[in-house]
Amino acid sequence: MAALHFHNVTLGYDRHPAVHHLGGKIALGSLVAVIGPNGAGKSTLLRGIVGILRPLDGSIHLGGLDSKDIAYLPQSAEIDRSFPISVFDFVSTGLWRAAGLFGGIGKAARDKILRAIGSVGLNGFENRPIGTLSGGQMQRVLFARVLLQDASLIVLDEPFNAIDSKTTADLLALVKHWHAEGRTVLAALHDLEMVRNHFSETLVLARGPVAWGPTAEVLTPENLLVAMRMCEAFDDSAAACGEDGRFQAA
Amino acid sequence: MLYDALIGPFTEFEFMRRALAAVIALALAGAPIGVFLMLRRMSLVGDAMAHAILPGAAVGFLLSGLNLFAMTAGGLIAGFAVAILAGVVARSTGLKEDASLATFYLASLALGVTIVSIKGTNIDLLHVLFGNILAMDDQTLLVVAFNATITLLVLAVIYRPLVIESVDPLFLRTVSRAGGPAHLVFLALVVINLVNGFQALGTLLAVGLMILPAGIARFWSRDLTAMICIAVVAAAVSGYAGLVLSFQTRVPSGPAIILVATVLYVVSVLFGRVGGILRQLFPGRHLEA
């Protein structure tokens, strides 16, 4: 069973591809790291998966998943931290799928929200406005919301950027817990050591797939060198692309 | 003495009672809308929309004279057209909402002034620009109350997506398609309340009874529900005090109401519990934890 199926996907902006001709599958319940230099298209790929960016070409199949079964943690969330909302209320928006526009949030849901806040280590922060949190605390809040979303596919875009080691360790434990629960987790990451130690599968991306497979086989100096050499600039005079999927994952 | 000054005008004159009823209806509906305008950083959008409704009201005036129904309908059509066009252009292109709105409202304002100057007199222009809350007839009062009621009901319906869209629009986009419609409906509510205030305060000041109370509320609470309540009370108090001031001093009622709100605003800036200037200058000794 595949959670995600890429059919020769090209994603980009203004016809310029940022991710070129990606094909392959992500199995249900796998824990996948997406690595690559800045500008490699990691965020673009994740935006394509969660459906906020439509592919220029090809398609992404969600294997029976609804867009509501996906929880997405963007890299630079467009969150207005000055908005007067408490940690509790903010985390509770993770229950959207259950509550929707008008559904009430009863005693059971309240307990669930409190448990989610507790499990990211923010007991006692329930009534704090989100504007008063530190960067690491806000990231914990966002993880608590992902937790509540109870999604079968979890997509995290560089979730540990500018986060201290204690917070990283706590949140990474949560990611591994999600994996153990059988959820599919996809994370864009920079820390190769973390990928090596904790992620079973890796996709090396550099404007297109460089290598994809078990982390130990994929994370080689050769592959990383290829990724590093990637050219970042768009060519404004580029011709229309005629190439078919040049790379398929095993 | 005090009774004569503060309550007498309303027991004695029916037009004062009508004006008070109108201003309370405006406060109940307009202030919550103003809070969201402020939190969504759209305060000046509200101002721009107020100008955008002018040509519609002017066409209504040209067709049927000083008939407030026609002017209201015209204002609604023009306001909706501008709001929806600007919203659609902003959402379907990369252009930011403020830029696209500026374009449409300037075009609309130019059109409105042209239409008024073709047929209107100076008195008409004054009425359009500043309104006259002391000249409310039954029908107008009913329209104002009706619009306020609709506003509160619709706001209750879109409240949840509107709040989430204000805090974290990207999140709402990934879990629901309600964000876009909620935003457009909200813009429509802004227009309805501008037209509503337009009867009482005119195009130039209508937005004042929405934005100033919201600004006041920001200095007294960090909680959304509390902010909305404070804004409603501030708007109602401004309306009442402005009417009394206008009655006793012959200052025109619209400007009087907004001036009272301005005084409340200045007091809030100085003494507000949340980020007021005095609080910042003399915060007291720091806490233990």
Residue A248 phi, psi (nearest 5): -125, 135
Cα distance between residue A99 and residue A67, in whole Å: 16
Asked whether residue A169 is domain-assigned, the answer is no
Cα nearest neighbour of B159 on chain A: A101
Asked whether residue A7 is domain-assigned, the answer is yes
ipTM, two decimals: 0.84
Asked whether residue A203 is domain-assigned, the answer is yes
Are A34 and A42 in contact by the 8 Å Cβ rule? The answer is yes
Task: Inform me whether the C-beta atom of residue B280 falls under 8 Å from chain A C-beta atoms.
Answer: no
Residues of chain B positioned with their CB less than 8 A from the CB of A149: 175
Asked whether residue A197 is domain-assigned, the answer is yes
Minimal C-alpha gap between A217 and chain B (Å):
34
Residue ranges and CATH numbers for the domains of chain B are 2-273 (1.10.3470.10)
CATH number for the domain harbouring residue A204:
3.40.50.300
Quote the domain boundaries for residue A218: 1-65+153-163+185-232
Asked whether residue A134 is domain-assigned, the answer is no
Task: Inform me whether the C-beta atom of residue A78 falls under 8 Å from chain B C-beta atoms.
Answer: yes
What's the predicted TM-score (pTM) here? 0.85
Note every long-range contact of A22-26, with CB atoms under 8 Å and residues 24 or more positions apart, other chains counting. A22/A58, A22/A208, A22/A209, A22/A245, A22/A247, A23/A58, A23/A245, A23/A247, A23/A248, A23/A249, A24/A209, A24/A212, A24/A248, A24/A249, A25/A249, A26/A2, A26/A184, A26/A186, A26/A201
Close Cβ partners of B258 (under 8 Å, ≥ 6 residues apart): B201, B205, B208, B209, B212, B238, B242
Are A116 and A125 in contact by the 8 Å Cβ rule? The answer is no
- Give the pLDDT band (50/70/90) at residue B66: low
The tens-digit pLDDT sequence of chain A (250 residues) is 677 889 888 998 888 888 888 888 899 999 999 998 888 889 999 999 988 888 888 888 887 777 778 999 988 777 899 999 999 999 999 998 888 778 888 889 999 999 999 999 999 999 999 999 998 999 999 999 999 999 999 999 999 988 889 999 999 999 999 999 999 999 999 999 999 999 999 999 988 888 899 999 988 888 888 888 876 556 666 667 765 544 444 4
Q: Report the 10 Å Cβ neighbour count for A54.
A: 10
DSSP symbol at A62: -
* Test the B interface: residue of A47, A62, A78, A92 with most B CBs within 10 Å: A78
Asked whether residue A121 is domain-assigned, the answer is no
Burial string for A90-110 (b: 16+ CB within 10 Å, else e) reads: bbbbbbbbebeeeeeeeeebe
For residue B51, which amino acid is it? H
Cα nearest neighbour of A103 on chain B: B160
In this complex, which of B161, B166, B173 lies closest to A83 when CB atoms are compared? Answer: B166
Q: How many domains does chain A contain in total? A: 1
Are B43 and B35 in contact by the 8 Å Cβ rule? The answer is no
Whether residues B170 and A74 touch (CB distance < 8 A) is answered with yes
